Amino acid sequence: MLNRAVLVGRLTKDPEFRTTPSGVDVSTFTLAVNRNFKSKDGEQQADFINCVVFRKQAENVKNFLSKGRLAGVDGRMQSRSYENKEGQRVYVTEVVCDSVQFLEPKNNSQSNNQPKQQGQAQNNPFDNSDDEFSDLPF
């Protein structure tokens, strides 16, 4: 059997961080992962994948990732269910991350639309101003 998920996408919002009662750090976030095709009207389509990461990686995610940042995850798919406050059964499918890669430098958090500062390298490999993810609505 094989259960592996490898994704690259942008965070749809800042990660949520908490510590379990047993003291384990947990970060959850959602990645917007573009599909390889566009809709009939030319709109880029994306899947929104829930991710969860534990322990030291959870703390790193909290400290270094934020809304709109490009990240890569490697992990496994997991399904679970719980009962919400209204007594309804809720089913969740998420990627439990073994590893999270930060694919942009932290100082690249400025908007891609702002002009480049003088002296900044013109061929920055992390400049994503015209990549396929730059048109996501967040």
Is residue 34 one of the residues assigned to a domain? Answer: yes
Is residue 134 one of the residues assigned to a domain? Answer: no
Q: What is the pTM of this model?
A: 0.73
Domain region containing 74: 5-108
Is residue 116 one of the residues assigned to a domain? Answer: no
The tens digit of pLDDT for each residue in 53-67 reads 999 999 999 999 999
Is residue 91 one of the residues assigned to a domain? Answer: yes
CATH number of the domain enclosing 27: 2.40.50.140
The whole-number pLDDT of residue 117 equals 45
Is residue 86 one of the residues assigned to a domain? Answer: yes
SS3 content of the chain, % helix, strand, coil (to 5): 10, 45, 45
The tens digit of pLDDT for each residue in 8-67 reads 999 999 999 999 999 999 999 999 999 988 878 888 899 999 999 999 999 999 999 999
Q: How many domains does the chain have?
A: 1
Contact 12, 67 (CB under 8 A): yes
